[in-house]
Amino acid sequence: MTSFYSINRSFTLLYFPLLSSHCLPTFLLINVSSANSLLRFIDGKRESGRRKAENMAIAEIREEEEEAAPLLEEIEGASKPRRIALFVEPSPFAYVSGYKNRFQNFIKYLREMGDEVMVVTTHEGVPEEFYGAKLIGSRSFPFPWYQKVPLSLALSPRIISEVAKFKPDIIHASSPGIMVFGALIIAKLLGVPIVMSYHTHVPVYIPRYTFSWLVKPMWLVIKFLHRAADLTLVPSAAIARDLQAARVTAANKIRLWNKGVDSESFHPRFRNYDMRVRLSNGEPEKPLIIHVGRLGVEKSLDFLKRVMDRLPDVRIAFIGDGPYRGKLENLFSGMPVVFTGMLIGEELSQAYASGDVFVMPSESETLGQVVSEAMSSGIPVVAARAGGIPDIIPADQEGKTSFLFNPGDLEDCLNKLKPLLSSQELRETIGKAAREEMEKYDWRAATHIIRNENYNAAIWFWRKNRAHLLRPIQWLARRIFHSPEVNYE
């Protein structure tokens, strides 16, 4: 009998080729059929009318119209504790990425607000306990083109059974990926709303890792997924615009997951002389540029080689790890550059606060969480004006809380960088303003909005779609049984 691990791996290996054909819907249908057979061991059939569309006065709208869902604060159970199943891939406990802190804080504050939380994620590095959430590791395997990214379909009998017994009120899956397909199938099998949050701008990455011709099929897959979701969350307005331009889903189903930062963990008080000595390779008096994050080709980190060629007195420290590290080490060979590998906890806090300037050359960030963390640590940022970065450093804050440069423009970058490196007073002024700005953004408040506004909107859309799907059945029942018309809206 074929193992589910083999199915998972086969699914991934076929993933991109399938995008360019019409096989994907058929493949998913086969998986739905298989998953249905697995439900024989799930204890009992869920009540057929679970959370049917309550009598709600909802005006009928077309999918693409800009009608906003109500907040549902007055709907029974809308603000009561919920059971939330999160499908997160890669793991928010082990994978080095900006969304790691986002999901960890999200879980923390959902639990604080009284919700029961289940987290299904890739199996590596899953802790025994995390704020009382139920944690389930799904056997994973490396992504063929990015070996340090673990993937899993999360559609084994064990996981289906665990999620069914948990009886979630809503399923929330990270996207794009492989696990989001499993989450979608389980949500449809159990008849619960599904929210997808978009964290990795894969169409931008594809030409750097595989073949450019896969970009269009990838957009088709993203559309397939997010049109099946009841709501899509994005980390920045720039990504929202990209998804709307690509007509991924209806514009009224795309919502912003507000930015936040842990301003206690990332604080100027963590500035540390010994850490600065380490990051500067024993020359703490030299100007020190730092970069924190995954070392991937999509991050445009080779741009910093051009910066160093023009600023030979500067030291650079790369904090983080990734598939591009070896090539970067060769590129910077013989130069005053330090690669620390992955740092966590207080060491990471010290690394942020002990630099002079944080430089972010990446043009593909969906938000750029590390930029927020650097600013919260009280150091100025010089970043490419691209992706979600302008959401953190908007036009009216440029030159006050940090600086943006035109992507790939070395002269523009140097014009912003040189004054900061040469003036401690300017660094302190900008760093203080950056810290004050980041103190406005709180993960608790961001979680409250997701829970009490965006999840409620997803439930509203789910009920509306469910009512529409029931109409043909209702019509047939009235004709056969002469039953009175029931309004599910």
User: Which residues neighbour 436 within 8 Å (Cβ) at sequence distance 6 or greater?
Assistant: none
Q: Assess whether pLDDT exceeds 60 at residue 224.
A: yes
Alpha carbon distance 67, 287 (integer Å):
52
**Residue 289: half-sphere exposure toward Cβ, Cα within 13 Å:** 27
- Give pLDDT, residue 36: 45
Chain-wide mean pLDDT for the chain?
Answer: 84
| % of the chain beyond a pLDDT of 70 | 78
Task: Decide: helix, strand or coil at residue 136.
Answer: strand
Alpha carbon distance 397, 81 (integer Å):
38
User: Which residues neighbour 171 within 8 Å (Cβ) at sequence distance 6 or greater?
Assistant: 84, 85, 86, 87, 163, 183, 186, 187, 190, 192, 193, 194, 195
H/E stretch holding 120 reads: strand 116-122
Domain boundaries, the chain: 4-42+64-260+445-481, 268-438
- Give pLDDT, residue 475: 64
Contact 418, 397 (CB under 8 A): no
Among residues 32, 1, 42, 45, which one has the least CA distance to residue 153? 32
User: Which residues neighbour 332 within 8 Å (Cβ) at sequence distance 6 or greater?
Assistant: 305, 308, 316
Q: pLDDT by residue (tens digit) across 318-335?
A: 999 988 999 999 999 999
Range with top average pLDDT, 118-127, 134-143, 271-280, 466-475: 271-280
Tokens of 381: 């940022």
Q: pLDDT by residue (tens digit) across 257-266?
A: 999 999 999 9
Within its chain, how far is the Cα of 172 from the centroid? Answer: 11
Q: Which fold has domain 268-438?
A: Rossmann fold (3.40.50)
H/E stretch holding 383 reads: strand 381-384
Mean pLDDT, range 218-227, rounded to an integer = 96
Q: Assess whether pLDDT exceeds 70 at residue 44.
A: no
Mean pLDDT, range 16-21, rounded to an integer = 37
- Give pLDDT, residue 96: 66
Alpha carbon distance 202, 19 (integer Å):
13
To 10 degrees, what angle do helices 215-228 and 179-190 make?
30
Q: Assess whether pLDDT exceeds 60 at residue 51.
A: no
The angle at the Cα of 289, spanning 416 to 296, to the nearest 5 degrees, equals: 100
Q: Do the two domains 4-42+64-260+445-481 and 268-438 of this chain adopt the same fold?
A: yes
CATH 3.40.50.2000 fits 4-42+64-260+445-481, yes or no: yes
H/E stretch holding 195 reads: strand 194-198
Alpha carbon distance 254, 196 (integer Å):
10
The radius of gyration of the chain from alpha carbons, rounded to an integer in Å, stands at 24
Cis omega (within 30 of 0) for bond into 176: yes
Of the pLDDT bands very low, low, confident and very high (cuts 50, 70, 90), residue 7 is very low
H-helix segments, 39-115:
98-112
Mean pLDDT, range 130-149, rounded to an integer = 83
Among residues 161, 62, 74, 16, which one has the least CA distance to residue 24? 16
Mark 394-404 as b/e (b = at least 16 C-beta within 10 Å). eeebeeebbbb
Of the pLDDT bands very low, low, confident and very high (cuts 50, 70, 90), residue 77 is low
Contact 178, 441 (CB under 8 A): no
Q: pLDDT by residue (tens digit) across 395-428?
A: 999 999 999 999 999 999 999 999 999 999 999 9
| % of the chain beyond a pLDDT of 90 | 66
pLDDT, greater one: 68 or 433: 433
Reported pTM:
0.79
